[in-house]
Amino acid sequence: MRSVRFAALALSGGLLLFSGVAASEVLPWVDDYPRALAAARAKNVPLFVEAWAPW
């Protein structure tokens, strides 16, 4: 039980430590799918697609 608490504390501390770094970066939002796909393929990185519905 003690090791679970320690692991949770270490994880939350690590998230707090790196959250400032991640928050300072702003990702560019591209709303042109073919252009975003071409850029992701050129950089060999995954493409994040957000989809939602107002139901």
Query: Do 37 and 47 meet the contact criterion of CB atoms below 8 Å apart?
Result: yes
Q: Give a yes or no: residue 32 inside a domain.
A: yes
> Tell me, what DSSP letter sits at residue 26?
-
Q: Give a yes or no: residue 55 inside a domain.
A: no
- Tens of pLDDT, residue by residue, the chain (55 residues): 677 777 776 777 666 655 555 556 677 788 899 999 999 999 999 988 888 899 8
Q: Which residue range is the domain that position 14 belongs to?
A: 2-43
Spatial separation of the C-alpha atoms in residues 53 and 34, rounded to whole Å: 21
- The SS3 assignment for 37 reads helix
Q: Give a yes or no: residue 51 inside a domain.
A: no
Q: Give a yes or no: residue 21 inside a domain.
A: yes
Q: Give a yes or no: residue 52 inside a domain.
A: no
- What total number of domains does the chain contain? 1
Q: Give a yes or no: residue 12 inside a domain.
A: yes
Spatial separation of the C-alpha atoms in residues 2 and 11, rounded to whole Å: 14
Q: Give a yes or no: residue 53 inside a domain.
A: no
Query: Do 39 and 30 meet the contact criterion of CB atoms below 8 Å apart?
Result: yes
